[in-house]
Structure 1
Amino acid sequence: MNLALVVIDVQRGLFEPQPPPADADAVVARINALAQKAREAAAPVVFVQHERGGDLEAESEGWALHPALQVVEGDHRIRKTTPDSFLRTGLDEVLSFCGVEGVVLCGYATEFCVDTTTRSAAAHGYHVVLASDAHTTHDKAHADAAQIRAHHNATLPAIRSFGVGIRALPAAEIAFAG
C-alpha cells in the first residue's frame, strides 16, 4: 500500500510557549525519523500548518514549523484553518495525485487536529496509521497529555464504520511502501 506521512501542526506557536506539549522533543525526533523513512521509500511527506489570528497568524514566527523539524525540498506544505487537515485544503488532491492509499498521521494536538484528521482521512477512504508515540498535546484539567494520547491510541482504532482500517503503531514499527 502506498503511504504518505502527514505531520499536523508542529509549529513554533504551539511548541515553544511554556510549558511545551508533553514529550515534545521526543515526539519531534520520532517525526523526523518517520520523515526520513518515508523519503527513503519515496513516500510523500506533508507538513500541515494551522493558521488563525494571533499566535498562528499566517507567515508569522509562531506559524512557522518547529525549527527542529527536518524539512527538505520536495516535501509538501498544506495550510488549514480548522482541526480537519482535509477540510478546505488541498490535502486530498495532493495525496490523490501521489497515488496514496493510506496515511501515517502524527503531530499536535492529539484530541483536536490529530483526532479530527484521523477520522476525516478514514472518511476520505484512506487507511490510517496513527503513529502512537509521535503525537502530543498539553495537559488538560480533565486528563494529562499521556492519558489523552493513550485514550486516542485505544479508541481511534476501534472505529470500523468508515470501511478502512485505523491502526495505532509506535513510530519504530511503521514502514512505508517503496
Structure 2
Amino acid sequence: MSAPTPQALLIIDVQQALFDPPPFEASAVIERINALAERFRAQGLPVFLIQHQSAQGVLQAGSPGWAFAEGLQTRPSDTVIAKTTPDSYLRTPLESALRETGVDHVAVCGYASEFCVDTTVRRSAALGFEVTLVADAHTTHDKPHAGGAQIRAHENATLPSISSFGPRIRALPAAELTL
C-alpha cells in the first residue's frame, strides 16, 4: 500500500462581507469547514486561509468586511494568503508554499462556488495538484439564473468531469474526505 498523498486544505474567501447576507447554507458550510480544518491540523497537514482583498470597498484590507467570517475558526499555525482575483494562485505565494511543504493534493472549500472556488480548483489541477472539491463545504449566493444549491450541485457535477489537466478532480462531502 502506498503512502498517503500529502494534502493541504484551501479555505477560500470565508469573509464577513461575503457572508452578510449569508449565502446558501452559510452556517452549515462554516461548521463543516471548521471540522475539516481541525482534522487537517490534527494530522499536521497545512491549512491555508485565502483572503480576497481589494484597494477599496467592503474587501479593502483591514476593513470589517475583509475580516474572516464570524464563526470561522482560525489558528496561528494556518497560513494566510491574500489574493486579488478569483484565482488563488495568480500573483500570490500559494503555489510555492504548497510545493515547499511537499503537497501534491489540495482539498478546496469556501466561497464562491462558481467563481473563486471553481477557478482555484481548475488552476490547481492545471498546476499538477490532485484536487478534492469538498462538495458540501463550498457555497454561494442565489443568482437570477440559479439558486446557491443549484450552483453548488452544478460545480460538484461538472468539475470532476474535467480530465484534460491530468490530475484527478473529485467532489466528496467533508465526512468522506480521507487524510
Shorter chain as denominator, the TM-score bin is over 0.9
CA deviation profile, 1:40-91 (whole Å, cap 9, x unmatched): 1111000000011200001111101112111112110000000000000010
Structure-2 residue corresponding to 1:22: 24
- In structure 2, distance between residues paired with 1:163 and 1:46: 24
- In structure 2, distance between residues paired with 1:120 and 1:60: 28
Matching of residue 61 in structure 1 with residue 64 in structure 2 = yes
Counting only pairs closer than 5 Å after superposition, residues 1-178 of structure 1 correspond to structure 2 as 1-16=5-20, 18=21, 20-52=22-54, 53-176=56-179
How does the TM-score come out when normalised to structure 1?
A: 0.96
- In structure 1, distance between residues paired with 2:17 and 2:144: 21
CA deviation profile, 1:105-141 (whole Å, cap 9, x unmatched): 0000000000000000001100000000000000000
1:173 corresponds to which letter in structure 2?
E
- Cα root mean square deviation, aligned: 0.6
- Greater relative contact order structure (CA < 8 Å, 6+ sep): 1
How does the TM-score come out when normalised to structure 2?
A: 0.96
CA deviation profile, 1:119-174 (whole Å, cap 9, x unmatched): 00001100000000000000000000100000000000000000100000000011
2:103 corresponds to which letter in structure 1?
V
Gaps of 5+ in 1: none
- In structure 1, distance between residues paired with 2:99 and 2:70: 29
- In structure 2, distance between residues paired with 1:129 and 1:112: 16
2:15 corresponds to which letter in structure 1?
Q
Gaps of 5+ in 2: none
Count of paired positions: 174
Percentage identity across paired residues of the two chains: 57
